[in-house]
């Protein structure tokens, strides 16, 4: 069964355009409530959000929809997506709901759901919700309506959870960190986590106004972090995205580490502690150099489809614990049930502190292949799959790359973009092939 509303990461779109409208959110809350009530008579859901101004409107509509189906609601206010996943599990609730469009600009928003175990929900669950959306509402009577209340200590609970994922004797004392919250969901909790572990914290991107989320700050705009680390002569900089499940790290020299390198560091830290790592899950975009470095250390590596939900599915299927994407979505199932930018940052910093080495030193010997990624905006109705010109260009590029590299063309799951990636042992070769392919898409 095809899905009408759910994409690769929940439901997402432009605010004011279907389905990101208050009337749809009312229907969605009611439909999800009915699906939940098929399993439990009086379920309770947790609703968190990022800092977009549209969150107020969507939160109210969802709350009303849940109440109309007889579902109780707990409201956290702004809280990172992984914080909602954690509290849903810790408080033994039936469902976690996040109002966020992650790294998208403020004019977008979306809805994500987490199970009672704090994990992404299955395609079958999403299909059940879509089926309920097509049915007429079944309003409960006044005596059966759901209630709503604020969870005032949500941020404090999540800060303590993040701190609990590192060793009890771990400290960041003596380190100066720049923490960039992207003016998003982690604007309050991120500086607190690092400060309470002993670091001197310089906070940037932590002044949300409802309109500035991801605007020039955060993991998708790391240039602000690089500048701040240099200006404040900090040891490291940590940047999160709007809902804080994505991470970028900068060192004192201004070097930016992507998710592929950070994933390797998390693996290396566990190996240094004597842990056995059966395998690691990356994606079709993961740099070939990281795959080769892991295999040299005896760690198996497999590629999932792009998207943290697919990485998680592969981890669960194989019984492995570590996986992630180059974009900075990293998953450590020995710490949390979902990807968490803050927890991943702590894992990486713990590797540096415990070893007494810099991140660059820890990555010595990991040779990344030059990788060029170009995002090409698609026109409405543009059928890139049917383009013979693009097929010919791909065939030509593959012939030129031979055994020296690879290419991947895929649509974004959240925006009308086609992502063109070329990886090769020579940067010039990768750039030429990527630009040719992107130009064909633009002309198509």
Q: State the greatest distance between any 2 C-alpha atoms of the chain, in Å, as a whole number.
A: 70
Note whether 184 and 213 are within 8 A (CB). Answer: yes
Q: Is 371 helix (H, G, I), strand (E, B) or coil?
A: strand
The per-residue DSSP string of 156-198 comes to HHHHHHHHHTS-TT---TT-EEEEE-TTSTTTTHHHHHHHHTT
H-helix or E-strand containing 421? strand 417-424
Alpha-helix runs per DSSP H in 178-284: 189-196, 223-231, 259-272
Among this protein's residues, is 102 annotated catalytic? yes
Q: Exactly one of 54, 102, 115, 327 is catalytic; which is it?
A: 102
Note whether 218 and 181 are within 8 A (CB). Answer: yes
Closest CA relative to residue 411, chosen from 433, 441, 389, 431: 441
Order of strands, sheet of 108-114, starting from the edge strand that comes earlier in the sequence: 11-14, 108-114, 95-99, 44-49, 72-78, 148-150
As a whole number of angstroms, the distance between CA 443 and CA 440 comes to 5
Closest CA relative to residue 376, chosen from 418, 437, 421: 418
Q: Which residues contact 142 (CB under 8 A, 6 or more apart)?
A: none
Note whether 219 and 103 are within 8 A (CB). Answer: yes
Q: Is 35 helix (H, G, I), strand (E, B) or coil?
A: helix
Note whether 112 and 12 are within 8 A (CB). Answer: no
Note whether 81 and 161 are within 8 A (CB). Answer: no
Residues in the chain: 444
Cα distance between the two ends of the chain: 31
C-alpha dihedral (407, 411, 413, 419), degrees to nearest 10: 50
Active-site amino acid positions: 102
């Amino acid at each position: 069964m095809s899905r009408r509303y759910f994409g690769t990461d929940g439901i997402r779109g432009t605010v004011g355009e279907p389905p990101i409208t208050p009337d749809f959110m009312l229907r969605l809350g009611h439909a999800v409530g009915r699906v939940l009530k098929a399993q439990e008579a009086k379920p309770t859901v947790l609703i968190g959000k990022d800092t977009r101004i549209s969150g107020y409107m969507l939160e109210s509509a969802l709350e009303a929809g849940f109440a109309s189906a007889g579902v109780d609601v707990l409201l956290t206010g702004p809280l990172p997506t992984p914080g909602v996943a954690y509290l849903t599990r810790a408080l033994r609730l039936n469902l976690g709901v996040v109002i966020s469009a992650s790294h998208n600009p403020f004019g977008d928003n979306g809805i994500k759901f987490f199970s009672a175990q704090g994990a992404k929900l299955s395609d079958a669950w999403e299909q059940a919700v879509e089926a309920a959306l097509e049915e007429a509402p079944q309003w409960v009577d006044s005596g059966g309506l759901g209630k709503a209340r604020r969870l005032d200590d949500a941020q404090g609970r999540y800060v303590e959870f993040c701190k609990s994922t590192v060793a009890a004797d771990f400290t960041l004392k003596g380190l100066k960190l720049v923490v960039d919250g992207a003016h998003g969901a982690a604007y309050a909790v991120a500086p607190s986590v690092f400060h309470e572990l002993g670091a001197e914290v310089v906070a940037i991107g932590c002044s949300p106004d409802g309109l500035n989320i991801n605007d020039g700050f955060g993991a998708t705009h790391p240039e602000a972090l690089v500048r701040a680390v240099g200006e404040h002569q900090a040891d490291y900089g940590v940047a999160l995205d709007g809902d804080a499940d994505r991470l970028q790290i900068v060192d004192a020299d201004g070097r930016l580490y992507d998710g592929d390198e950070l994933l390797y560091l998390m693996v290396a830290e566990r190996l240094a502690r004597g842990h056995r790592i059966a395998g690691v899950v990356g994606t079709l975009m993961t740099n070939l150099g990281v795959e080769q470095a892991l295999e040299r250390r005896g760690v198996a590596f497999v590629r999932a489809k792009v998207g943290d939900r697919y990485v998680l599915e592969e981890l669960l299927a194989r019984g492995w614990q570590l996986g992630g994407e180059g974009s900075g979505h990293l998953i450590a199932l020995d710490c949390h049930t979902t990807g968490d930018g803050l927890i991943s940052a702590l894992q990486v910093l713990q590797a540096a502190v415990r070893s007494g080495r810099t991140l660059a030193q820890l990555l010595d010997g990991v040779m990344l292949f030059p990788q060029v990624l170009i995002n090409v905006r698609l026109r409405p109705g543009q059928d890139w799959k049917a383009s013979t010109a693009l097929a010919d260009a791909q065939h030509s590029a593959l012939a030129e790359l031979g055994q020296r590299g690879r290419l991947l063309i895929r649509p974004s799951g959240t925006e009308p973009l086609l992502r063109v990636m070329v990886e090769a042992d020579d940067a010039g070769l990768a750039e030429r092939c990527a630009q040719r392919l992107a130009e064909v898409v633009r002309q198509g």
